[in-house]
Structure 1
Amino acid sequence: MKRLDYKLIEALDSVVRFGGFERAAEKLCITQSAVSQRIKQLEQMMAKPLLVRSQPPGLTEAGQQVMSLYRRVVILEQDLLDSIHHQDSGRFSPVTLAVNADSVATWLLPALAPLLKQEKIELHLLVNDEARALENMRRGEATAAISLQSQPLPGCQADYLGEMRYLCVCSADFAQRYFPKGVNREALLKAPALTFGPLDDMHRDFLQQHFNLPNSSAPCHVVPSSEAFVKMAKAGLAYCMVCEVQIKDALEEGQLINLLPHLWDTRSLYWHHWVLETGRLKALSDRVIKKGRELLYRPY
């Protein structure tokens, strides 16, 4: 079997990264026909289809494996060249992370800020539910991921970061309006709640576990934004499950109240990354693990 031609893989990466052949051709400064020919040549070399020609384009399982390797090689190559020449090339290395919205809204960006100032890293965030972020890494779309799963992918390792604790909160006037006699099944059937999206099962599971309420039995707004969650709760529009670290000040200032102080939910977060990391990737992982363990709750 012939060795991989990274010029051909670059075309595949560009089509997927930029969402089509036209934009890939613009980025590579070649024609769309040349992009198509490179991908066809790569698929012939691999004897397997690599690109799902949909809108937007995607990757087959084999394509995901090729892309996962390629994106790591690009970063490792840049680190090697900088090290050999003992100087900064000035080029930014693209790094894609699959992360959950609550980590982005709270601890992750402050943790990465010093590194992003020091290293030439072009950060791409794929914001996904933490229960599903590992799929982005498995498909070759991300170099590392924050996930609930403790079992790493082949060739990877999973480092425990800590716990995100979620409280059930609302504004004082919302509580007075919907829960004047306390939180019970009857009141919960009438009070509007918030959920992040159709794949977010935290609110549903919380109600089912503690109040035996079946799915979709209570009104629920769908708002895919951690920041909007807090704003809507403060405005008295709904109650919701929010990570404690995000609303610490709001609770202390009385803008929000903890509806159920004796009940909460937790999510264990793990940092998934490749075992063989050097340079920028290793620095990024070291930073995430160190700051995650400092800022997240750790019961032991």
Structure 2
Amino acid sequence: MPFQFDHLRTLTALVDEGTFESAARRLHVTSSAVSQRVRTMEQTAGQVLVQRTNPVVPTEAGDAVLRYARQVLLLDQDVLSELRHGGAENRNRVPLAVNADSLSTWFLEALSELPPELGAVFEVHREDEEHTTGLLRSGAVMAAVTSTPDAVQGCSVEGLGVMRYQAVCSPEFAERHGVRGVEGLNGAPVVNFDRRDDLQDRFLRDLTGEGSRGPRHYIPASEDFARTVLLGFGWGAVPEHQCARDLEDGRLVALAPEHPVEVRLFWQRWNLRSPLLDEVTRCVREGAAARLHPM
């Protein structure tokens, strides 16, 4: 191993905590010890591994070493779990990245099937499905739900299924803005998750050839997004799991029910043998099969 085990643990603690002082408290050492260990790693690598900002940010070389460090620590956790059979003193940290809509509709139910004796504790990073692979590349997470079918270096990829969205609005909103199907939508208020969310524009472009020109609300939480549409702030593309009952009860109307927006989801994970990561993958695979549409 090119780096000492304690040094790898120190680097992950420093990046996770953001400062040398916080990392020192987590590791029960002094700040100078953390700094010395990082300098030793940089001398070994021959490159700067972290930018001394607040919070610290890994460099490109630091991302590579951080990914390696987390993989080594994962294997160490697997061995300790097998020897100690879990327990509060041996909890296994599992950092994952997932998009907000999956997190709100099926992902947590999938994780709940993980056997409790594995002693896993989850650190879930919520990120747009088109950007979760960046967290894999940096080593921040060991697996991610993503819309990208091309495997990140050092990772394997498999298809999970299709998340289907319906463009919907409240009946009152449709009446107020003269919306009849897609007619009138281009200039009507629209709800976006954030400034990177293009589902609504994609829906309109597919059917009318142009995106929305209407005022935009930005609601960066999946359940609050759906509620904002239900309350009549604007129209938006809502996961079928979240809007099905409101459509049945007439609280929402589908604007083009035969033209849902579909997002293909994939599971990317570190390409190494780990009983813990294998079990997480199994649960995610089975949860997706039960709740997503097949590809």
TM-score, normalised relative to structure 1: 0.92
Report if the CA contact (8 A) 1:74-1:93 is conserved.
no
- 2:241 pairs with 232, 239, 245, which one? 245
- Aligned-residue offset at 1:127: 0.8
How many angstroms apart in 2 are the aligned matches of 1:105 and 1:181? 29
Distance of 1:93 and 1:87 partners within structure 2: 11
Provide the C-alpha distance between the structure 2 equivalents of 1:205 and 1:180, rounded to a whole number of angstroms. Answer: 18
Trace 1:3-22 onto structure 2 (pairs within 5 A): 3-22=2-21
Which amino acid letter does the alignment assign opposite residue 288 of structure 1? V
Which of 193, 197, 200 is the equivalent residue of 2:197?
A: 200
1:275 is displaced (CA, Å) by 2.6
Q: Please tell me whether residue 213 in structure 1 is matched to residue 210 in structure 2.
A: yes
Q: How does 1:146-185 map to 2 (within 5 A)?
A: 146-184=145-183
Within a 5 Å distance, the mapping from 1:213-292 to structure 2 comes to 213-214=210-211, 217-292=213-288
Moved more, 49-58 or 224-233: 49-58
- Deviation of 1:154 after TM superposition, in Å, equals 2.7
Distance (Å, rounded) in 2 between the aligned partners of 1:119 and 1:234: 40
Q: Are 1:88 and 2:86 matched, yes or no?
A: yes
Other structure's SS at 1:167 match: strand
In structure 1, the residue matched to 2:61 is 62
Unaligned 5+ segments in structure 2 are none
Percent of aligned pairs with the same residue? Answer: 33
Indicate the SS of the match to 2:204.
helix
CA distance in 2, matches of 1:192, 1:180: 11
User: Is residue 189–residue 219 contact of structure 1 (8 Å, CA) maintained in 2?
Assistant: no
Contact 1:21–1:35 under 8 Å retained in 2:
yes
The Cα offsets for residues 120-178 of structure 1, whole Å up to 9 and x where unpaired, read as 11101111110111111011111001111111123321111100011101111111111
- Amino acid aligned to 1:297: H
Unmatched segments (≥5 aa) in structure 1: none
One-letter identity of the residue aligned with 1:262: E
Query: In structure 2, what is the Cα distance between the partners aligned to 1:30 and 1:174?
Result: 59
> Aligned in 2, Cα 1:181/1:283: closer, same or farther, shift over 3 Å?
closer
The answer on whether the counterparts of 1:192 and 1:239 sit within 8 Å (CA) in structure 2 is yes
1:240-285 Cα distance to aligned partner (Å, 9 max, x none): 0111122222222222221112222111100001232322111001
Q: Which moved more, 1:205-214 or 1:156-165?
A: 205-214
Deviations 1:92-145 (A, max 9, x none): 111111110010000000111121644311101111110111111011111001
Per the alignment, in what secondary structure is the counterpart of residue 106 of structure 1? Answer: helix
Match of 1:32 in 2: 31
The answer on whether the counterparts of 2:187 and 2:213 sit within 8 Å (CA) in structure 1 is: no
Q: Measure the CA separation in 1 of the matches of 2:277 and 2:57.
A: 25
- Provide the secondary structure at the position in 2 that maps to 1:209: helix
Secondary structure at 2:113's aligned position in 1? helix
Equivalent position to 1:188, from 185, 189, 192? 185
Counterpart of 1:292 in structure 2: which amino acid?
Answer: A
Write the letter of the residue equivalent to 1:207: L
Stretch deviating more after TM superposition (165-174 or 273-282):
273-282
Question: Aligned partners of 2:24 and 2:103: how far apart in 1?
Answer: 32
